[in-house]
Structure 1
């Protein structure tokens, strides 16, 4: 099915581009996820493009407002930011926070602004450094503290001490097709968009390095321009298709070449519209700068853990019958099963039998571990006690113990 979509995109030079295109809707499949966000922040967000989520707080670079706003953990709806950084920013596109709480902002004029951890409205950046001609299109701080800045066709890597205009790079990955995004995984692998493709580079890649692998082709459902890139704790790779179908696609950790994504997040319920940069939690939960919304959308993981398979519990352990054969009472005791079947034990059933005849049947709560039986309830000779545990699935097998009674 073809559909005509009116789009507004961001060119590599930063100009707003209006146009009409024909996009092909993705083929419906079991992997398509059309689900509503669990949170939607509108507040002071009117042109969200860059995004980072650090310590539960959400940092949003508003391209048209020339600011970065910070929302508290759990912010939702028309929430007001707890801080706003707006001094000297120029159509900011990317934002991230280092381990010391300093906020780095990639600007359309090619400068990177660095703000103190408590910076608020009107506070000047503690420093600014240049990245050379052209816009700084995206920014990510790697696991070792290096600052990765996406330029149109390169990724510039800077030390935390970077200064000057332009600042000296520690290395530079060159030869990329025009793109917007950069992301450094916990492993150090550097991801970049390359037209309608994703490229992964080694942690020490420099110059015109050959990518470790490339995800590209019609099956991938990637569509230029791609903006946001992220990875989760399983190494799965996520990318946002900024224009056209407005989706977020997720690939396996080993995805390569022309391979279909594991999941495609998109459709009316998602409210995705020109999604920009994104943040991926360890479990795959997504926070997306929804430029065309305008809003910040937060989604539950696309890869929820399957519900545990519950089985009946194992046999209770250490079943004993204390007391002499002529005792007036006999104490039965036991321990919980070694295997609860995947669900908590909710109770026990005790049965005493003489041959095939049931002498006593009692049900107990989960905390019960012993019971005294009067001799009058028993029969002379060999008696048998059986005890079994119960969970939400039902009763497990009986533990069995014989004992003798003399009257």
Structure 2
């Protein structure tokens, strides 16, 4: 059943026979939904909260938009059970009415979608205070075919993922897809009964976390297509449905079902990083030094990039290999170390899971 939600404004019973487990170290081919032991559950009754959209922060604080009481409630990093909120944003000065999506900017200011506006509150704002700024949401430049969807979110590679709720499928559009664009892919999950994808979030490996109307969270490959099986499915043993979903860089996931907030540990292990971008070799063929430059991968796999390997090839022969720190984006080659003619430079990123795929560029050396 479709529930009303404004999309893109900001940034059931327990499963019978389900498995209780700690978060898995590796994703296996999806089988039965897994009941993962949460890090904590906030019931919210002490604060009288019916959480809808939520925001989990790196510090562990949880922000919850209380739609019917026109307020935002904030819980501490250790809040669990029938916890008392740290503070609330509530009152006529706040101008909060039926709050929806929540986000924080680089300065720590809270953005609250409310009554077709975005209210921006100072980092330490609490109580009945005025927002420091009000904005109208920018028009969401999405293809016409995506309008009216339940959820629209962009993955790390810029692709637009569109969840159609009770229609039972997800569509994926290319980065920068225009008004008349058609989807690249259409995805549905191989599962008995109706699959209703209503919320979308992404981790640093580009994997897609799909919150469903029945409370499960299906994790899909960024390359999923057609009828697919999830990499992992979080069961609905802890939440009857999903009203809000939030993920932080560490991979922790928080969900709300209108009655409580459940915070889970990382569900899937990191992967190897994606391919580095835009490998180029600067300066002329006869220059004494050639500069190899690249950009970091759009997805680091969920673990920090620690090294880049730069390999120069002449045909099948390795001419030079250099390993540089993960903070580097360039490497200088001396002409005297390179054979004349056409060479290939290959660059790979590494995290604690290993090296990602090769990105390369060809260049000519003249002596």
CA distance in 2, matches of 1:284, 1:110: 30
Task: Indicate the SS of the match to 1:175.
Answer: helix
Q: Does 1:70 align with 2:74?
A: yes
CA distance in 2, matches of 1:71, 1:99: 20
Q: Which residue of 1 is the match for residue 260 of structure 2?
A: 295
- Number of positions where the alignment pairs a residue of Structure 1 with one of Structure 2: 247
Q: Which structure's relative contact order is higher, taking Cα pairs within 8 Å and 6+ residues apart?
A: 2
Contact 1:46–1:64, Cα closer than 8 Å, also in 2: no
Contact 1:38–1:300, Cα closer than 8 Å, also in 2: yes
Q: Does 1:106 align with 2:77?
A: no
Deviations 1:84-108 (A, max 9, x none): 223222222211111121222223x
**Which contiguous aligned blocks of 4+ residues in structure 1 show a shift greater than 6 angstroms?**
25-29
Which structure carries more strand by proportion?
Answer: 1
The offset of 1:240, in angstroms, is: 1.0
Task: Indicate the SS of the match to 1:76.
Answer: coil
CA distance in 1, matches of 2:5, 2:270: 39
Segments of structure 1 that go 5 or more residues without pairing to the other structure are 1-6, 15-21, 132-157, 159-168, 307-407
CA distance in 2, matches of 1:113, 1:203: 29
Show the 5 A alignment for 1:359-370: none
Q: Does 1:82 align with 2:52?
A: no
CA distance in 1, matches of 2:148, 2:17: 27
Shift of the 202–69 alpha-carbon distance from structure 1 to 2, 3 Å rule, reads: farther
Q: Which residue of 1 is the match for residue 319 of structure 2?
A: none
Shift of the 74–208 alpha-carbon distance from structure 1 to 2, 3 Å rule, reads: farther
Indicate the larger mover: 191-200 or 215-224: 215-224
Shift of the 90–179 alpha-carbon distance from structure 1 to 2, 3 Å rule, reads: farther
CA distance in 2, matches of 1:303, 1:255: 17
Q: Which residue of 2 is the match for residue 11 of structure 1?
A: 4
Give the TM-score normalised by the residue count of structure 1: 0.53
Contact 2:43–2:261, Cα closer than 8 Å, also in 1: yes
2:157 to 187, 191, 205: 187
Q: Which residue of 1 is the match for residue 123 of structure 2?
A: 117
Deviations 1:147-171 (A, max 9, x none): xxxxxxxxxxx3xxxxxxxxxx373
Q: Which residue of 2 is the match for residue 341 of structure 1?
A: none
Q: Which residue of 1 is the match for residue 228 of structure 2?
A: 259
CA distance in 2, matches of 1:247, 1:179: 19
Contact 1:68–1:84, Cα closer than 8 Å, also in 2: yes
Shift of the 92–174 alpha-carbon distance from structure 1 to 2, 3 Å rule, reads: farther
Q: Does 1:241 align with 2:212?
A: yes
Shift of the 259–101 alpha-carbon distance from structure 1 to 2, 3 Å rule, reads: same
Max radius of gyration: which structure? 1
Contact 1:229–1:277, Cα closer than 8 Å, also in 2: no
Task: Indicate the SS of the match to 2:64.
Answer: strand
Shift of the 124–275 alpha-carbon distance from structure 1 to 2, 3 Å rule, reads: same
Show the 5 A alignment for 1:315-330: none
Segments of structure 2 that go 5 or more residues without pairing to the other structure are 19-29, 272-367
CA distance in 1, matches of 2:175, 2:128: 37
Shift of the 75–191 alpha-carbon distance from structure 1 to 2, 3 Å rule, reads: farther
CA distance in 2, matches of 1:183, 1:220: 26
The offset of 1:229, in angstroms, is: 1.2
